[in-house]
Amino acid sequence: MPSINDSKCILIVGSTAGLGRSLALGILALPSKPTVIVCGRRKERLDELVAAHGGDGRLKAVQLDVATDRASLKASVEDIVKQYPELDAIMLSSGIQHIYNFSKPETIDLDNIASELTVNYISIVSMITFFLPHLIKIGETRPSFIYTISSGLAVVPSPIVANYSATKAAIHSLSLSLNVQLKDQNVHVVEILPPLVESELHDHQGKSEVYSKFWMSLEEFTKATMECLERGDAQVPIGAIAGSYAKYETGKLDSVAQMRAAQLKAMEGK
């Protein structure tokens, strides 16, 4: 089973903070010694990471705002591939979250709704599309990987973050479809479904202090996730999410694979 241990070079989008940053350092520490490219908007955070952990030259940095126009995002992806032709894995951890109260519709900021959809879904599916020609090419000789980060809220939505939950449900659905569609090209799609985890995601909502009383520590999250990534799991529900995943998602990936097989068979007959 191909796993993170097979990756020689991984880009982690959204690794200036939180889950992406912690997983980047976990992957950097693997015995397989991959090159790790950290990525996000905040240059000072990228510089700090490389200064603190880039001693042996395997930690690189790329500054990128994923909420840019499509042509600029495509150009940035092409620049990354040109600079790192050995790139065989991307992890997409960039994300934002807003609170809404739809019982008071006058308070709903549709600009926030749109930007949440752009950062959490449109930019992700766009980057996947732009990286795929390269990842499929790599797949001809060795496995390549796409790691998405959805959420336990993709399975059971949280009403207070209704739009965020919807964007994560979209990532979950996309991950299942891509998993079965890209397997034959040796491109392995892995979805991580985190629980509430220590990070900066909720800082702007003023909720971090409350959430910190029951969130999973980054250390615990990273340890549990790295175990699954090293094992080569396709779906990675972490901590408390294992329960809702077992209840609502058991067998779904197999059903998606069966639908794909039936579609291919039907197309053969035409």
Ligand X SMILES: NC(=O)c1ccc[n+]([C@@H]2O[C@H](COP(=O)([O-])OP(=O)(O)OC[C@H]3O[C@@H](n4cnc5c(N)ncnc54)[C@H](OP(=O)(O)O)[C@@H]3O)[C@@H](O)[C@H]2O)c1
Residue 239 found at the interface with ligand X (CB under 6 A): no
Per-position x/- string for 11-50, each x denoting binding to ligand X as judged by CB under 6 A, each - no binding: ---xxxxxxx-------------------xxx--x-----
Choices 78-86, 92-100, 125-133, 176-184 (CB under 6 A): range interacting with ligand X = 92-100
Query: Minimum CB separation from ligand X for residue 32, in Å?
Result: 24
Query: Could you tell me if 172 and 241 are in contact, meaning their C-beta atoms sit under 8 angstroms apart?
Result: no
- Name the minimum Å distance from CB 269 to ligand X: 41
Site for ligand X contains 175 (CB under 6 A): no
How far apart CA 264 and CA 266 sit, in angstroms, is: 5
Least gap, CB of 186 to ligand X (angstroms): 26
Q: Report phi then psi at 50, rounded to 5.
A: -65, -40
Here the tokens at position 117 are 């959809």
| 64 part of the interface to ligand X, by CB under 6 A | yes
Does residue 237 touch ligand X according to CB under 6 A? Answer: no
Judged by CB, which is closer to ligand X: 66, or 229?
A: 66
DSSP per-residue string spanning 6-63: G-SEEEEES-SSHHHHHHHHHHHTSTT--EEEEEES-HHHHHHHHHHH-TTS-EEEEE
Q: State in angstroms the smallest separation of the CB of 39 from ligand X.
A: 7
**Residue with Cβ nearer ligand X (143 or 194):** 194
Measured CA to CA in angstroms, residue 48 lies from 17, 21, 178, 222 at distances of 11, 12, 34, 20
Task: Using the minimum distance from each CB to ligand X, give the nearer residue, 20 or 26.
Answer: 20
Residue 107: half-sphere exposure toward Cβ, Cα within 13 Å: 7
Count of chain residues binding ligand X (CB under 6 A): 28
Looking at beta carbons, which residue is closest to ligand X? 18
Identify residues 108-127 at the interface with ligand X (CB under 6 A): 119
Binding mask 124-153 for ligand X (x = CB under 6 A): -------------------------x-x--
Per CB under 6 A, 197 contacts ligand X:
yes
User: Cβ closer to ligand X: 81 or 138?
Assistant: 81
| Residues of this chain that bind ligand X (CB under 6 A) | 14-20, 40-42, 45, 64-67, 93-96, 119, 149, 151, 194, 196-197, 199-201
